[in-house]
Structures are given as structure tokens and as C-alpha cells.
Amino acid sequence: MEDSYLNWLVRETATTWWNDSADPEEIQKALACGASGATTNPVLATQALTGRPEYWRTTLRAIPADLKGEARAEAVMQAVVTDVARAFRPSYEQTSGAQGYACAQVNPARAGDRKGMLAQARRFHGWAPNIAVKLPVTAAGLDVMEECAAAGITFTATVSFTTAQLLAVAECNERGRARALAGGIHPGRCFVAMMIGRLDDYLREVAQDQSAGLSEPDIRQAGLAVVKRAYGLFRERSYHARIIVAALRGAYHVTELAGAEVIMSIHPGNQAKVQAPGVSRDQGIDRPIKPDILARLQRLPEFVRSYEPDGLPVADFITFGATQRTLSQFSETGWKPMESMQAH
């Protein structure tokens, strides 16, 4: 029987992968295929809860009935994330903390609230030793990330779509690590997500609106171009942060980046696609974006803002179109439903 693509990826390349789901059955299947961690966010947590209510019934009933609003959502999130963390705890212990993390995302509505995000980060960090606190790449989020790094708190930067955002996270992590080491604190780990498919989705809409003349094959190269640009800079600068490629839209996002020392966050639907017979096992990370495609993409100002290392000022991180779309979705279809979540 042919070895699965995901097992090949982990065994033969520098690429590892996380399960992009909080569903308990999907996590067990992912573990069998070599997953070394899990991405969760408010939307994925809500989907896990509503998709398998009988699994969570006892846990949800244990949450005090008088908890309302944000406090209730936080308790519900804790139930989901600690369940995921238990599944990956053996990997965390066997690798001395190199792998085995479960993400716990702060309230998306607090993307500009330094004090609120830092308080949540400290609480979430205490849920389990293998929690990676998820923080948005906004100006406020970067400040909180530096404080987390200085305190030895492992975190995942999320709601990020651009080379400038990835570099800003890596730099703030370096500053925080230096502070931690100077204070005798063991640094946590830093993961920074590049939401590749969400960037493609956003640029596709912008290109259509502006009649930019970009084809679908061109758009499908946009996020890949940003990842490859940022990955090269991460390697040149020897950052401690590790890129997570998230929000994949198909097997091509995996195969074109295979071989990179990154983490792929792969939803079960895309896991099935890369496990299909005939998927290329070439290591695509060293294949450059074709110059003619890159030239066409660069006609679109929003792509240039995404691609260039200095294309997006920190002050504009929170107002970037893809950022606002994603924060809104995470809040409206993920966090807010958890604020009133009850056992069924």
C-alpha cells in the first residue's frame, strides 16, 4: 500500500503539519497521519461544539450558568482547547515542547485592546503547558506578543496576510526573547500564521472590482508569492519564529510549499485532497513564482502591499481589508455564538 502523502511530508521533508479543526474524531485521524499540533479559532471551536453536541454535553453543563457574555465564551473556548491539548500532550512531552501545541485565540473584538488581550493571554497560558495563545497581528497585538515572549508564553500570531506582518511578528518575538533571557526566563515559542487562502480570496475580489485583468491561475499564485518571499527573509535573518501556512484552499498550497521548514495547518477537507493518488511529491518550495505572473500581480496595489517587506505600515495592519473581514468573521460566527453556548 502506498505511503500517505502526509506521512511522507513529515518523514522526508522539513515540513510539519497541524490539524485545522477542533473536532475530536478528526484530531484522532490527524494524529495517525503525523499531525504535530492543532489550529483552533473561534469559528473552528463553534463548529466542533455544534457538530458533535453529545460529545460536549457534560463539559458544557459543568460551566456555571451565571457566566455570561465574554466570560462564558472564554469558558467554552477553554473546554474545547484543553480537550485538543490533551490529545497532543504526548507529542509535546516526547519532543520537550518542540511540538504538540493547541491554539487558543483571544476575543477577536479586542484586536486593538492591549490590556484586555494581555490579560486573556496570561489566563489562556495557564490552561495547559502546550497552549499557544493566538493573537492578531495588529499594532496592539504586536505589543502583547512582545510581552508574551518576554514572559515565556508561547503564542501564535494570526489574522496575518502580508510579508510586513510576518516580519513584524518575528522582530517583536526577538525583542521579547532577549528580554526573557536577560531576566532568566526560558522563552516560549513563536508561531506566525500566514493566511494564504484568505489573502487570495481578498485579492480576487479586489482584482475583479478594479478590472485588473488577473486570471484565476494568477490569483492562486499571490499567497504563494508572499509566503515564499517571507520564508526567504526568515531564513536570511535566522528568526526564531516559525511560519504556519494556514487557510489553505487546495492541495496546490501544500505541494508548492512542501520542503519548507514551515508548519502547514491543514483542514480535514484538504487532508483528503493531498492524500489522493497522484499528488506530486516534489518539494516545491524552491520553485520561484514565474516572472510574468509576478509582474501581472504587481499591477494590483493591494498585492504590492501584501508582498513587499515594507508594503504595509504597522498602523495599517488593523485596517487592511483581509484583516477586517477575518476579524469580523471570527467574532460574528465564532466568538459571539460561544457567549450564549449551552449544552443540548
Determine the angle formed by the axes of helices 139-151 and 163-182, rounding to 10 degrees.
30
What was the pLDDT predicted at 228? 98
Q: What is the pLDDT of residues 52-91, one digit of tens each?
A: 999 999 999 999 999 999 999 999 999 999 999 999 999 9
Residue 285 placed within a domain:
yes
Residue 311 placed within a domain:
yes
pLDDT band for 150, please (50, 70, 90 cuts). very high
* DSSP assigned state of 116: H
* CA–CA separation, 328 and 320 (whole Å): 12
Q: What is the pLDDT of residues 222-242, one digit of tens each?
A: 999 999 999 999 999 999 999
What was the pLDDT predicted at 1? 36
What CATH number should be reported for the domain holding residue 323? 3.20.20.70
* CA–CA separation, 198 and 223 (whole Å): 8
* CA–CA separation, 223 and 219 (whole Å): 8
> DSSP readout, 57-98?
HHHHHTS-TT--HHHHHHHHHHHHHHHHHHHHHHHHHHTTTS
Number of H helices, E strands in the chain: 17, 8
Q: Which residues contact 269 (CB under 8 A, 6 or more apart)?
A: none
* CA–CA separation, 250 and 87 (whole Å): 26
Structural domain count, the chain? 1
Q: What is the mean pLDDT of residues 10-32?
A: 96
User: Across-strand partners of 38?
Assistant: 19, 102
Residue 112 placed within a domain:
yes
Average pLDDT score, the chain: 97
What was the pLDDT predicted at 3? 77
Q: What is the mean pLDDT of residues 46-50?
A: 97
Residue 103 placed within a domain:
yes
pLDDT of 2 above 60: no
Q: What is the mean pLDDT of residues 107-115?
A: 98
Domain housing 17: 5-339
Residue 50 placed within a domain:
yes
Q: What is the mean pLDDT of residues 204-222?
A: 97
What was the pLDDT predicted at 140? 98
Taking the mean position of all CA atoms in its chain, how far away is CA 279? 24
Contact 281, 254 (CB under 8 A): no
Q: What is the pLDDT of residues 248-272, one digit of tens each?
A: 999 999 999 999 999 999 999 999 9
Residue 344 placed within a domain:
no
Q: What percent of the chain is predicted at pLDDT more than 70?
A: 99
Residue 270 placed within a domain:
yes
Classify residue 92 by burial, with Cβ atoms within 10 Å: 0-12, 13-18, 19+: buried
pLDDT band for 343, please (50, 70, 90 cuts). confident
